[in-house]
């Protein structure tokens, strides 16, 4: 996790279902134009106008920002219509990468400015504006930057593209493939609820007590299995076994995510107040040099890296022995450099990730892992590579008084990974606003709130209840039997069905037609499922060689996103279907 930050209070945006919002926001009048506002003409608080850096627009730019939000520039934005707009900020960062805070009509979020020469444009995500006057404030966070102008244009809200159902481990277990298939099918329609667990605090029990629901994903930390912690007497308290017990709840449908705050293998400083042995995963608490260890593959420190990985592999094998797939999220937040595995830069981190992937997959034959990489804004050079990553996550701890729509972070990750990888909110200090997820289209695969009194236990109980009972949030009791759900076992069938066409899709007239080209006569079943795996329609038909037409009855079904499962014997594949009324 990152630095502790105050609680974000929920501020719901009233919005309709996503497809309604998409329709409204793609129906902007043809004359709708960009709104561009120069910073030097805005209201300034503790900042000044400069013109020494070439390349600015207008008559100058605003400078003098620091870490205080009291130093800011306030824009008055007159919007021709209420709706969601794309926000671009023209900026410069003379002293390296910086962070900024943004507040629109009292709703606050945060973002990053990359370190680029001269002026550049940051895409600050999608923002909701009222018709008429709106107030937009930029300032604070951390850094010294210049603001040249802002620009807003009416936005469209696309659904995220689904990535291929192909894991980096070609030998992944059937259950692991099935879980990933379910995650891909669900992506862009619902969000899975997750919760970081703590043996002492028992956070999942707390969520259940307050909401009557278990999260769909239990997130556990293998921190105390680090050999250097065990050497000082750390007690894991059967954390792995507790996770396995929870995963077997509700007919074994609980989804497990594991992370590892890896205590440095050696060279712990072990000095008070903030460098004690138990904080040895922090850069400040160890002198362990990852780059040096990797440079000498025969050296003692490299062997200690392998020793530690082997110790964690033993824990992961406990899950594999119980046929439990794991959303495996190691080496998180590396680009922040506050953990030792990121302290020496991108290259050593990527090498360590790739070594771990190879050692776990090939040396230890662990085939129950779905590899989740935690990205940092504007840090593309830290990405280990498509061959080593299955899902991309982001950890967000925003210092905000109101709920953020997280659109800026979502937009950045979609720019890099849309159609390639699932994107998830792997760690958050606060519950997300589900109405924002719907209206801004930030369809994280899942979210997981951090543990402790400053995080999940500080969420208002009505908010906690509303999120865990929201129809667009999937909890444990709503999970399908993902072990057999939507498995891509029929790759040859899908390739042979390249002529499959579903129309109309989106469907708005209560009729759904499937055209499918068959290479030979064969009995085929077409099953329509809800996003949670409930079967709502089924048609069996013997296809003839050549083109076939199949009618799926959908007149009585409510509007929403569905999954069409096409099955021939043991072979199957899926397609997404959208019904509108």
CB 103 within 8 A of CB 141: no
Q: Angle at the Cα of 186 (from 184 to 192), degrees rounded to 5? A: 110
- Reported in sequence order, the residue ranges of 272-360 that DSSP labels E, i.e. its strands, are 326-329
Distances from the Cα of 365 to the Cαs of 199, 360, 573, in angstroms? 28, 6, 27
Q: Angle at the Cα of 396 (from 47 to 204), degrees rounded to 5? A: 145
Distances from the Cα of 369 to the Cαs of 246, 313, 327, in angstroms? 18, 11, 6
Selected catalytic residue, list 103, 110, 315, 333: 333
Give 310's contacts (C-beta < 8 A, 6+ positions apart): 359, 364
Distances from the Cα of 280 to the Cαs of 164, 240, 267, in angstroms? 38, 21, 9
CB 502 within 8 A of CB 552: no
Rounded Cα distance between 189 and 445, Å, is: 9
Please confirm, yes or no, whether 333 is among the known catalytic residues.
Answer: yes
Rounded Cα distance between 166 and 103, Å, is: 40
- Residue 386, token pair as written in the block: 């498509």
Q: Would you list the DSSP string of 85-125?
A: EEEEEEEE-TTS-EEEEEEETTEEEEEEE---SSEEEEEEE
CA distance between the termini of the chain:
43
Label the pairing between strands 546-553 and 511-518.
Answer: antiparallel
Length of the chain counted residue by residue: 581
**DSSP H or E stretch at residue 385:** none
Please confirm, yes or no, whether 427 is among the known catalytic residues.
Answer: yes
Selected catalytic residue, list 10, 427, 478, 494: 427
Give 68's contacts (C-beta < 8 A, 6+ positions apart): 46, 139, 140
**Which residues carry out catalysis?**
333, 427
């Amino acid at each position: 996790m990152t630095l502790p930050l105050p609680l974000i209070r929920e501020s719901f945006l009233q919005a309709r279902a996503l497809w309604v919002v998409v329709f409204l926001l793609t129906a902007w009048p043809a004359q709708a134009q960009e709104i561009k506002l120069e910073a030097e003409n805005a209201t300034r608080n503790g900042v000044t106008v400069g013109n020494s850096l070439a390349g600015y627009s207008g008559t100058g730019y605003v400078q003098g920002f620091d870490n205080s939000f009291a130093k800011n520039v306030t824009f008055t934005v007159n919007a021709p219509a209420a709706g969601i707009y794309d926000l671009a900020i023209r900026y410069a960062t003379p002293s390296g990468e910086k962070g900024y805070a943004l507040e629109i009509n009292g709703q606050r979020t945060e973002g990053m400015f990359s370190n680029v020469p001269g002026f550049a444009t940051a895409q600050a995500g999608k923002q909701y504006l009222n018709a008429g006057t709106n107030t937009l404030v930029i300032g604070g966070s951390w850094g010294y930057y210049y603001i040249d102008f802002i620009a807003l244009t009416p936005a469209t809200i696309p659904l995220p593209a689904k990535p291929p159902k192909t894991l980096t481990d070609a030998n992944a277990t059937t259950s692991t493939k099935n879980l990933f298939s379910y995650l891909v099918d669900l992506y862009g329609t619902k969000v899975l609820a997750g919760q970081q667990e703590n043996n002492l605090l028992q956070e999942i029990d707390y969520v259940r007590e307050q909401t009557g629901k278990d999260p769909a994903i239990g997130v556990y930390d293998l921190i105390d299995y680090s050999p250097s912690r065990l050497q000082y007497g750390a007690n894991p308290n059967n954390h792995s076994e507790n996770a396995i017990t929870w995963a077997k709840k509700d007919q074994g449908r609980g989804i497990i995510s594991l992370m590892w705050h890896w205590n440095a293998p050696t060279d712990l400083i072990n000095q008070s107040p903030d460098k004690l042995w138990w904080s040895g995963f922090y850069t400040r608490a160890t002198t362990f040099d990852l780059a040096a260890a990797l440079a000498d593959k025969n050296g003692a420190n490299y062997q200690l890296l392998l020793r530690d990985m082997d110790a964690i592999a033993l824990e992961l094998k406990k899950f594999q022995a119980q046929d439990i797939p794991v959303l495996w999220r190691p080496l998180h937040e590396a680009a922040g450099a506050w953990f030792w595995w990121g302290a020496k830069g991108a290259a050593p981190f990527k090498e360590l990730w790739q070594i771990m992937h190879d050692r776990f997959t090939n040396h230890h034959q662990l085939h129950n892992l779905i590899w989740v990489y935690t990205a940092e804004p504007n840090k593309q050079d830290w990405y280990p590579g498509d061959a080593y990553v299955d899902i991309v996550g982001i950890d967000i701890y925003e210092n905000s008084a109101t709920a953020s729509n997280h659109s800026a972070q979502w937009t950045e990750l979609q720019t890099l990974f849309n159609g390639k990888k699932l994107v998830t909110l792997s760690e958050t200090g606060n519950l997300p606003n589900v109405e924002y997820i719907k209206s801004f289209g930030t369809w994280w695969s899942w979210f997981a709130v951090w543990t402790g009194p400053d995080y999940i236990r500080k969420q208002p109980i009505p908010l906690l209840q509303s999120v865990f009972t929201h129809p667009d949030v999937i909890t444990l009791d709503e999970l399908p039997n993902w072990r057999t759900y939507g498995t891509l076992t029929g790759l040859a069938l899908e390739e042979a069905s390249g002529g499959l066409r579903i129309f109309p899709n989106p469907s708005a007239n209560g009729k759904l037609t499937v055209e499918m080209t068959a290479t030979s006569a064969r009995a085929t079943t077409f099953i329509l499922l809800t996003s949670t795996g409930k079967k709502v329609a089924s048609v069996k038909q013997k296809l003839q060689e050549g083109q076939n037409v199949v009618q799926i009855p959908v007149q009585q079904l409510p509007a929403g996103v569905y999954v069409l499962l096409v099955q021939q014997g043991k072979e199957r594949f899926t397609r997404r279907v959208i019904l509108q009324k």
